[in-house]
Amino acid sequence: MLKVEENELITRVGPGTPMGNFMREYWVPALLSSEVPTPDSDPLRVLLLGEQLIAFRDTNGNVGLIQNNCPHRGASLFFGRNEEAGLRCVYHGWKFDVEGRCIDMPNEPAESDFKSKVKAVAYRTQERGGIVWAYLGPRSTPPPLPDLEGNMQPDSDKLARATQLPCNWLQVLEGDIDTTHVGFLHYGGLRAEEQVPGSFSEYQLRVKTAHFEVIDTEGGAAYGARRPASEDQVYWRIAQWCFPFYTFTPPGVLGTKKGGSARVPMDDNHVLTFNMTSGRPRPTQQTGSSPFFQQAMQPNTTDWYGRFRPVQQPENDYQLDREAQRSNTGFNGYTGITGVGMQDAAMTTSMGRIYDRSKEHLGTTDAMVIRVRRRLIAAVQAHMKHGVTPPGVDDPDVYRVRSGGVFLPPDADWVDATRELRQAFVEHPELDPALNGPL
Ligand code: FES
Ligand SMILES: [Fe+2]
């Protein structure tokens, strides 16, 4: 349970808010490279940390991220002409380069040097693994990008995906680190005896509760959830969170799955998730035979909120099928909602845009949620009051983490026993991803 002020502190991200200032110390994923596909392609509306920005790829291939309102008289640069290494406002022809410099002011007399005095807000960008990263922070020399394995693989640019949900970023992030919902929301209609014998899927379904341990890590926090497996083994399901909004969810075999997600706030009430996961099969068809199918998306529009919206939405109750729910069998049979991602979305968006966490009743299996909130509150306050650099900003190494499941002897200390398996950029050819089972 949080105090109302604490809840506000860690959920609000607009310019000038404590969490907004905190997040602006980091590089943040802003858009997919494919949204500005070619030099001089169409400008794009991007809402990021509560700021309205226009992204454009200039003639040289560089991506600009510039204030929406033209510095002259405020017309939107979305309507601009993207030409000859800059974005030209169509109202009076002022033109800006990717750094925000005004490079042409054709409605002023030729002898005027006014254009050298005008600068648009423009944020630095870097592209890696199919994602355009932005730095909205105060440093003149930005910190390094985080060493995120899922964004640094040879095929990362093909696997990068984005999904928008209409609720606060922290609600969605908390769903990632809440392990016991999985046995109900996602797998409640499945039976342990129908799973591959000896797989994680089987043991996960046999015992729905879990003994839960949380540790602090250099970059954030991790949990181990222990369940009984065979006589001489226990099943540990391990997941990680890194500052400020990265999660590494536990499906898969620890040591083989690469990557995670960023839950990036568009504003206080909308989150854009950037998925950067490599090395895990990704079904392409909506067959219903796997819980991890790719959900159907609406076509993108040019609206601020028009990017990457699933067809299943709060307005259509996520296409809830009560008959399927009554059946209580199969991947979608507990909820009647199709797809793991949309089952999660129905829960996190149904709390309201920003849930008032002073009304909660948290149990022992919410230990990770509690830890992450406490870490965020402490770090935001330290930044706000004493200017302490947020964790991980100058330490790209702390993002070199992995999550997943593992069998260990009953008396093993999971933290020591998995130290190497939790390290990214290490190959473990001896491990078999099939151990996971389908879940
Ligand atoms: S408003 Fe953009 S050039 Fe005048
Ligand atoms: Fe979930």
Angle among Cα 74, 78, 83 to the nearest 5 degrees reads 110
pLDDT at 284: 40
pLDDT at 42: 98
Same domain, yes or no: 401 and 298: yes
Q: How many domains does the chain fold into?
A: 2
The answer to whether residue 335 sits within a structural domain is: yes
Q: Say if residues 331 and 321 touch (Cβ distance below 8 Å).
A: no
> From the alpha carbon of 93, which atom of ligand 1 is closest?
3
Complete DSSP assignment for 219-253: SEEEEEEEEE-STT-EEEEEEEEETTTEEE---SB
The answer to whether residue 6 sits within a structural domain is: no
Q: Pseudo-torsion of CA 422, 425, 430, 436, nearest 10°?
A: 50
Same domain, yes or no: 195 and 110: no
Same domain, yes or no: 182 and 275: yes
Final residue belonging to a domain, choices 135, 160, 175: 135
CATH of the domain at 78: 2.102.10.10
Q: Say if residues 214 and 390 touch (Cβ distance below 8 Å).
A: no
Angle among Cα 80, 82, 83 to the nearest 5 degrees reads 130
The span from the CA of 63 to the CA of 161, in Å, is: 19
pLDDT at 437: 87
Same domain, yes or no: 157 and 131: no
Q: From the CB of 118, is ligand 1 less than 6 Å away?
A: no
Q: Tell me, in angstroms, the distance from the centre of ligand 2 to residue 402's CA.
A: 18
pLDDT at 179: 83
Same domain, yes or no: 114 and 191: no
Token output for 132:
């355009």
The ranges of the chain with pLDDT < 50 are 281-288
Same domain, yes or no: 260 and 197: yes
- Say how many C-beta atoms besides its own lie within 10 A of residue 410's C-beta: 11
pLDDT at 278: 75
The span from the CA of 373 to the CA of 22, in Å, is: 14
The answer to whether residue 16 sits within a structural domain is: no
Final residue belonging to a domain, choices 135, 168, 187: 135
Q: Are strands 44-48 and 404-408 parallel, antiparallel or unpaired?
A: unpaired
Same domain, yes or no: 245 and 368: yes
Same domain, yes or no: 158 and 297: yes
The span from the CA of 182 to the CA of 214, in Å, is: 18
Final residue belonging to a domain, choices 135, 165, 191: 135
The span from the CA of 123 to the CA of 133, in Å, is: 10
Domain that holds residue 97: 27-135
Q: Tell me, in angstroms, the distance from the centre of ligand 1 to residue 111's CA.
A: 19
Q: From the CB of 72, is ligand 1 less than 6 Å away?
A: yes
Q: From the CB of 79, is ligand 1 less than 6 Å away?
A: no
- The upper half-sphere exposure of residue 436, i.e. CA atoms within 13 Å in the direction of its Cβ, equals 21
Three-state secondary structure call for residue 121:
coil
The DSSP code for 314 is: G
Which residue's alpha carbon is nearest to atom 3 within ligand 1? 92
CATH of the domain at 412: 3.90.380.10
Which residue's alpha carbon is nearest to atom 4 within ligand 1? 92
Q: Which of 69, 76, 91 to mutate to test the pocket of ligand 1 (most atoms within 8 A of CB)?
A: 91
Ligand having the closest approach to the CA of 347: 2
The answer to whether residue 20 sits within a structural domain is: no
pTM over 0.85: yes
> From the alpha carbon of 70, which atom of ligand 1 is closest?
2
Same domain, yes or no: 404 and 363: yes
pLDDT at 317: 98
Q: From the CB of 91, is ligand 1 less than 6 Å away?
A: yes
The answer to whether residue 352 sits within a structural domain is: yes
Token output for 431:
């491990």
